[in-house]
Amino acid sequence: MQLSRAARIILVGAPGVGKGTQTERMLKRFPQLSSISSGDLLRENVRKRTPLGIQAESTMKRGDLIPDSTILRLILSELISHGWLTTDAPRTMTLNSASAAGATAESGDDDDAFITSSPLTSQKYNFSEDPNASFILDGFPRTAAQALQLDDLIPINLVVNITTPTAIILDRICNRWVHAPSGRVYNTTFNAPKEEGKDDITGEPLTRRADDDPDTWKNRLQKFEETSMPLLEHYDRKGVLWTVQGNSSDEISPKLFAEFGKTFGRNQT
């Protein structure tokens, strides 16, 4: 389905609720959409041992949140490198070299720009209403403070709040396996890889996420519960909040597709 205008969506939901799974499905269904996952970006930085990754690793292992300023700079540079945000000012090295998914931080110099203070966030940006500039943000913003900062850069026009009973999520987390380089997610009970322990596309080995043990997950859930209410209230006030319930990703996807089509589809207004 073709879109009638630019969709700028964020997904909000407890850790393990299936935001990544819904994102993957949305991208397949609506080819004009692209996505940024804050968790995947951070894990990529950890894997590549960038200064930002080294700094973030222990926080993530505990299930705590990365400082707002760090995550904002990371996301901002992604929004710029995808071309979703543009500036009239000449672009700096940092902006040019921060590339799209896969190469967040290739040279050490750029990484330093993320963790030391940078002028990125104080600039003014432009954004396009072209449907091809549509995106899903998975995992960002996560706090009302992050949302306020994003509002200053680019307005979000649909917030999808995904809710699933926590007992069901915990069960799932214990069976979750990931293909780290791509972020593809499997579950040994309901979405098993074709060959055990191997990624369907590349055949590479699957791994467990460092923060997917039950104790860390409980801390992540607690952080989510502390931060999500003010976040959701913020977007509710703006009139863009939509809540969907379901016990499984399969139950949620059709509802999400329908709502999205209704809001952004070609034949809608």
| Amino acid identity, position 119 | P
Q: Report how far residue 130's alpha carbon sits from residue 153's, in angstroms, rounded to the nearest whole number.
A: 17
Which span sits near Mg ion by CB under 5 A: 36-44, 73-81, 204-212, 213-221?
A: 36-44
Cross-strand bridge partners of residue 241:
159
Cβ pair 4, 269 in contact under 8 A: yes
Interacting residues toward ligand ATP by CB under 6 A? 15-17, 19-20, 38-39, 42, 59-60, 63-66, 71, 139-142, 146, 211, 220
| Ligand-binding site membership of 172 (annotated) | no
* Tokens 């799209």, located at residue: 100
Establish whether 246 is an annotated binding residue.
no
Q: Does 193 bind Mg ion (CB under 5 A)?
A: no
CB 56 within 8 Å of CB 45: yes
Q: Could you tell me the smallest distance in angstroms from the CB atom of residue 193 to ligand ATP?
A: 17
- Minimum distance from CB of 38 to Mg ion (Å)? 8
Residue 100 CB coordination number (10 Å):
12
Question: With CB cut-offs between 5 and 8 Å by kind, which of ligand ATP, Mg ion, none does residue 63 bind?
Answer: ligand ATP
Provide the CA 68 distance to its chain's centre, in angstroms: 14
For position 18 contacting Mg ion by CB under 5 A, the verdict is no
Pick 20 or 53: Cβ nearer Mg ion: 20
Is 48 annotated among the ligand-binding residues?
no
Q: Quick count: other Cβ atoms within 10 Å of Cβ 238?
A: 14
Pairing of strands 126-127, 85-86: antiparallel
Give the nearest distance from C-beta 220 to ligand ATP in angstroms: 5
Residue 18 is assigned to a ligand binding site: yes
CA distance linking residue 82 with residue 41, whole number of Å: 14
39 scored as a contact of Mg ion (CB under 5 A):
yes
CA distance 117 to 105: 16
Binding-site members for GTP are: 16-21, 176, 185-186, 249
Q: Which residues bind Mg ion (CB under 5 A)?
A: 20, 39
Binding site listing: 16-21, 38, 43, 64-66, 139-142, 146, 176, 185-186, 209, 220, 249
Residues making up the binding site for AMP: 38, 43, 64-66, 139-142, 146, 209, 220
